[in-house]
Structures are given as structure tokens and as C-alpha cells.
Chains A and B, each alone.
Chain A
Amino acid sequence: MKKIVALVLSLIMVASLCACGGSEKAASDGSVKVGFIFLHDENSTYDLNFINGAKEACDALGVEYLTKTNIPEGQECYEAACELVDAGCNIVFADSFGHEDFMIQAAKEYPNVQFCHATGTKAHTEGLANFHNAFASIYEGRYLAGIAAGLKLNQMIEEGTITADQCKMGYVGAFTYAEVISGYSSFFLGARSVCPSATMEVTFTGSWYDETAEKEGANTLINDGCVLISQHADSMGAPTACETAGVPNVSYNGSTASVAPNTFIVSSRINWAPYFKYIIGCVKEGKAIDTDWTGTIATGSVELTDLGGAAAPGTAEAIADAKKAMEAGTLHVFDVSTFTVDGASLTSYMADVDTDPAYEADHEVVTDGYFNESGAGFRSAPYFNVNIDGITLLDTAF
């Protein structure tokens, strides 16, 4: 037995030595190789959206890439990033919020590799030349999707299914985090812009991906009298519950028409391909990548999917009009004249833009009559965390 063990161990050592020599070749000839780190795999709508963007961008530019899926938000992320560097990647991208600190750790160790991170908040305070955050003004997409929801409510009122004072929507959120709050507030404002009597209830699951909890959350809202559901959580839980109950659903991250053919209205999503193309281009040309990059409708980063069968007539036109107004700068989603907080209008708001354990509010973000979400000079990740009137939070444990 001892002999066998000794033999196996020595074989392992020899093999690992051989492998060392083979795999560590860096792309030093100016070519770009991108490494992607994903929290889950293609079964999560959130990660699938990133995976599709990565494929699209890299295939279009003819760039080699590697992916690592199911990487938890722990030291595994740092190890995965280092392995991607070992494999010759000169850009490493991670898609989940909790990856950020571990990406920073890797970025400090490899100053010649660019580390890009979606949804993170620390790049602008960390002071590392090779660590970058990115997000998109998805609140604009949510607002447009909200218009589709509002028009659906109007259609239901016209058809006599509900009365104007029954226009209660439901929203399944993950955490009481700015990204979620910003998302449901903009969705609500979009809906209310066309259906003035709309109200909304929000419930939180305490997880970004929990199919059962999301389904249960949607069912709770439906039983509570919500006539339309939207969500910010990554599984098919809420769309499935809506399809079963026959309640129209506005989705996120991509079309869910496959599981909800009769109830799917529309989905907003961030298209990450433009960002991936941007960072690949920067590295190819030796240019610096923006510390905070915010994709917009104009960059093609904020998209709506094709309308589903449940969408009300006239939705496409209404969305197109609003989109034009946004691009022209005449429509701001968080225009302070369109909402109130505790009955008063919001004239000033200090947001926690620089992340710290004390949650210190450090930046005035209401400028020119609107809440400047993901604005230039602040950061790309959302910081809108105001509870506006008309939205009821059912639970705030998370």
C-alpha cells in the first residue's frame, strides 16, 4: 500500500510540473484574451444574460475567451481570477456584486491585467488603475417596461376586469438594496406615468436566486390582490407563478416567454456586449478603461425584449415615444416633480456613494430637478434608495 501511495504521489508531482510549463503562456503579442467569472451558470437568467453578452462581444471581435461558472462570492473568486491570469487572460471580468473585494485583491496582485466588475461600488474610491466598475442606466429600461405595465393596467380597466382603484401591482425583490429599490421605483414611475391610479406592493426574498422563494413571493402578492407582477430576482420562479395564476408579468434580464407564453408582457435587460466590446477595444489600443462606466440606451446597453402576447395594444408606440424623450434629455426617470417622499417633494438627497461600513451619506445627488442616478461624477452602480409614496414594502427583513 505504501509503495502504491508513494508512486501515485510522485506521479502527481511529475504531472503537475509538466502542466506548469504548458499552461502559463501570457498573451503578450498584443492579442486580447478575456476571462469571465460567473456566479452561477446559464440556468440563472442573470448569469445567462452576461454569458450571452460575452459570447456576442468576443465572437464579433474574434477574441479568445474563457469562462468560469458557479464561482461563489469568496476566495474562490480570487483563485478563479488568478487562474484566468495564469491562462493568459489580460482582461478578467466578474459578474456578481459579492465578487468585488476578491477582484480587488487579485487586481492588486496583477497590475498589468485589467479587472472589470459589474455592479460594484468601490472602483472610484479604491484608486487602482486596473480595477473598473460598470453598470447601465437600467432604471431607464425599467421605466419603459413600467409603461408597458401601466398600459396593461389601463387595458384591464377598459375591459372591466378591474376598477381604477384596484390597479395594484406586485414586485418580487431580492434585497432592500439600492439596485433593487432603484429598479422597482423606476418601474413604478413608468407605470404611473400612464396609469395614474397605480400602486405597488413589494416583497423581498433575501436571495438573488431562490426559485421557491420567488414563486412564493409572487403567489403572496397575487393572493394579496396584485393584478400584475414584476420582479428583480433571477430565477423563473415569479414568471412561472404568474403563468399558473394567469397574471400578467413584466420580466427582467431577458424574455421569459418560454415559461410564460400567455402572461409575458416585456422584459428589460442590460446588454453587456457593448461594455465587453468597449473594454476589449481599450486593451487592444492600450487606452485606459473608465473607472466607472455606465451603459445607456444610446450605447445599446439598455434594451427591451420583443413584446409578449400579453402586452396591451399601443405599447410599442408609447415606449418608442418615451425612449425618444429620454434620449433627447427631456424625460428624466427620477424627475422630482413626479414623485413624493412622505408627502413632500424631494429637493435634496445625500446618497451613500462612497461605500463605507457606517453607510455615511456623502454626495448630493438631486441636480437640475431630478435624482441623478448612476450619474457622471458619482458611480455607475445605483444609489437610489428612497422610499417613494405609492409603494408599500410588505417586509424589509432583508
Chain B
Amino acid sequence: MSNKAKEPLFHIVKRDDTTKKKAYMVRAIAILAALIVCAIVTTLLTGANPIKVYGTIFSGAFGSARRTWVTLQSLAILLIISLALTPAFKMQFWNIGGEGQVLIGGLAAAACMILCGDRLPAGKSVPSWVVVVLMIGASLIAGAVWGLIPAMLKAKWNTNETLSTLMMNYIATQLVAYYTILWEVPKGSGKIGIINQSTEIGWLPEIGNKYLLSIIVAVVVTAGMYLYLNYSKHGYEIAVVGESERTARYVGMKVKKVIVRTMALSGALCGLAGLLLVGGINHTVTTTISGGQGFTAVMVSWLAKFNPITMVFTSLLIVFLERGAGEISTIFGLNQSFSDILTGIILFFIIGCEFFINYKVSFRSKNVKEEKENV
């Protein structure tokens, strides 16, 4: 019998030698592997030519000028929400409430549009620019308040922010549902429809074309967030609080103040996304207007390691896959769920590869085996 300790088949070792180049290599391999697995799954399940499916995904996202604009617009919205969550995450404050903060911002904008729009008695009207100013204020404040409530609870009573932000989502959804019934047209339909379709009161102005406004806002927010996180005193405080609350307290930072301030910013930026969705893009509000982007943004922000510039690419990846997905169902007659499967596979590989960047798997070496056999 061997007196040696039995060595397992493989064990996991933390890497500390990963260079940036190596990390990018691993990521590239992961994406390639994901595409190959997707191709195999596609062929097995549908019999369709995988190259054609990829081509269709691409053309769905960038196949025409309009599609490219819509893709960029969707990218802009997802990016703004992701950027909004980022300072909170960097502070280790798990803001899962992006969805609710977007919705409540959108609801505030819609409320301004409806109450100051076509519903006013004949002869009375509010100039559109006044409504727009009101909307901007209302959306940002509403979003900020939705972020502030969990922040205050955390700062005052140290409640679990993951739960409280999550629960705030449901409150926001139900509020939107309530007001949808209140403002529905025609009665009983459960739909608000396009607000002020004839007068366009409270519609955010078109710059160039109807897609560009959101894109410009996203560029400004990205640059602003990059500077804020990396070069401002606030950004530094966020990083310190995130690394160690005790250190922050020791050096004299007011941790509670930082938490509350950062969450107000996080919520307000989500409110801004809601404003763009309601005032600039859809001109209506529904409970599904955010479409789960408040949650997708969590992933986008994490995949980018909280770096605003990298976030442009991670959100592009998600939006690209989503936009391409719709086209697959049109061209190949495949169900929307199929593209969700592909997106799932690709994300699995991308998230999974981070493991291989940080850890290495070493197998039981051969000579150990031989030694064993000799005994």
C-alpha cells in the first residue's frame, strides 16, 4: 500500500502571473469557443447553416442604416443604465434596482407629458419646452429618490441593499401599472398609447435624426462617468469605501454620506435613461418599457469590470446579440427563444473565461501515476 497522500485528478491554483496580453488571449479563445459551440448547437437543433445564422445576426444588428441606428440607440440606453449602476457597484453597494429606477424616471416623464399635454382643457396649453424642462427635473429626481430610499435604509439601519433595491423594482412596476389603468385610452384597454401624438408636447427634440439624441447623451455620460470615477475626489472616495469601509472611516471619510450621494447619482442616471425611453423614444410608458435592461446592465457593468470605456463594448455585445436575435426569428422562422439560447451560450463562455484568467487547473502529473503503479 502506498503511504503517499492520494493526489486528486486535478486541482485549481490561483494565477498571479497573468499578463494583460494573456488575459485578452483567453477572452478571444472563449469567444471563439462560444461561437463554435453555438454553431454546433444550431446545426444539431435546426439544421440551419451556422455561418448563415451568424450572417443573419450581423445583418439584424447592422444590416441597414436604420438597423445600425437602432442598434446604436439601444446600445446608448443600455450603456447609460450600466454606467448608472457602476459607481454603486464600485462602492460595493449592490444596486439591483436599476429596473425600478428607470421605470420611475419614465413614469415621472410620462406624468408631465400627460398632465401638461392634451388633457388640459381647451384653450390652455403649456409650451413644449417648459414641459421638457419639467420632465428632465421630474425624471432625475424620481430616479434619485428611488435610489436614495435603499441608500438611507442602508446608511441608517444597515439593511441589505440587494433586497431593498430589488423590492423597489416591484413597487415601481406596480405604480406604472396603476397609472396605466388611470390614464388608459380608450377605457378598459390597459394601454396609454403614444402621448400627445398630434401636438408632440413634451417630446424630446430630435437632433439630426430621431436616434441621435440618446447616443449623444450616452457619450456625454460615458465620458463624464470615466472622469468622475478616475479623476474626481468623489470617485476616489467611492473606490476607498468599496475597498474597505473601515479604511475610509479611519481616514476621515463620511461613509454614510458617500453611500447616500452615490446612490442618488446612480438613481438619477437611471431616471435619465427612463426619460430618454419615454420622452425621446417610445413616447408612452408601459410596465415593460425597460425590458429587463436594469438587470442586463448589472452584467454589462460587471463584465466590463466597472470600467466605463470597456462598458461600451460589453453593452455592444449584448445589444448586438439581442438585435440579431430578432432577425434570426424572421429569416429562419426560429422562435425568439433560440436566440436566447445562443446569447446564453456566449455569455456562459465569456463569464466562464474569467475563471481561467484568475485560476489555472493543474492535472495530476504523470510521474505520480507511474510511481503509484510501481508500488
CB within 8 Å of B: which residues of A?
Answer: 1, 5, 12, 15-16, 19-20, 23-24, 41-43, 66-70, 72-75, 79, 82-83, 86, 97-98, 100-102, 104-105, 121, 174-178, 180-181, 206, 352, 355-357, 359, 385, 397-398
5 new A-B contacts, CB < 8 A, other than A16-B65, A70-B329, A75-B281, are: A82-B66, A102-B194, A177-B187, A177-B188, A352-B186
Residue from A20, A105, A180 having most chain B Cβ neighbours under 10 A: A20
Answer yes or no: B286 CB below 8 A from chain A CBs. Answer: yes
| A385-B64 CB under 8 A given contacts A72-B288, A101-B284 | no
CA distance A74 to B66 in the complex (A): 17
Q: Which residues of B contact A (CB under 8 A)?
A: 24, 58-59, 62-68, 70, 118-119, 177, 181, 183, 185-191, 193-194, 197, 281-284, 286, 288-289, 291, 313, 326, 329-330, 333, 335-336
Cα separation A356 to B197 with both chains bound (whole Å): 12
Task: Output the least CB separation between A207 and chain B (Å).
Answer: 8
Contact A357 B68, beta carbon cutoff 8 Å: no
Name the residue of chain B whose CB is nearest to the CB of A396: B188
Residues of chain B lying within 8 A (CB to CB) of residue A176: 188
Q: Closest chain B residue to A80 by CB distance? A: B326
A24 and B193 within 8 A (CB): no
Q: Is the CB of B185 within 8 A of A357?
A: yes
Residues of the A chain whose Cβ atoms lie less than 8 Å from the Cβ of B66: 79, 82-83, 86
| A178 touching B326 in the complex, CB below 8 Å, given contacts A69-B336, A73-B191, A101-B194 | no
> Chain A residue with minimal CB distance to B188?
A177
Which residues on the B side are within 8 Å of A397 (C-beta)? 181
22 pairs, CB–CB < 8 Å, chain A vs chain B: A16-B64, A16-B65, A23-B59, A68-B330, A69-B330, A72-B291, A73-B191, A73-B286, A74-B284, A74-B286, A74-B288, A75-B282, A75-B283, A97-B191, A98-B189, A104-B197, A105-B194, A121-B186, A178-B187, A359-B187, A385-B188, A398-B190
CA distance A104 to B281 in the complex (A): 15
Residues of A within 8 A of B194 (CB): 101-102, 104-105
Given contacts A20-B65, A23-B63, contact A66 B188 (CB under 8 A): no
Question: In the complex, which of the residues B183, B197, B326, B329 contacts A101, with contact meaning CB atoms closer than 8 Å?
Answer: B197
The 5 lowest CB-CB distance pairs between A and B, nearest first, are A177-B188, A101-B194, A16-B62, A19-B63, A74-B282
Nearest residue in B to A181 (C-beta to C-beta)? B188
| Residue contact B119 to A357, C-beta cutoff 8 Å | yes
Return chain A residues, CB-CB under 8 Å to B64: 16, 19-20, 23-24, 83, 86
Which residues of A have CB within 8 Å of B68? Answer: 16
A67 to B334 alpha-carbon distance, docked (Å): 11
Give the chain B neighbours of A72 by CB distance below 8 A.
Answer: 286, 288, 291
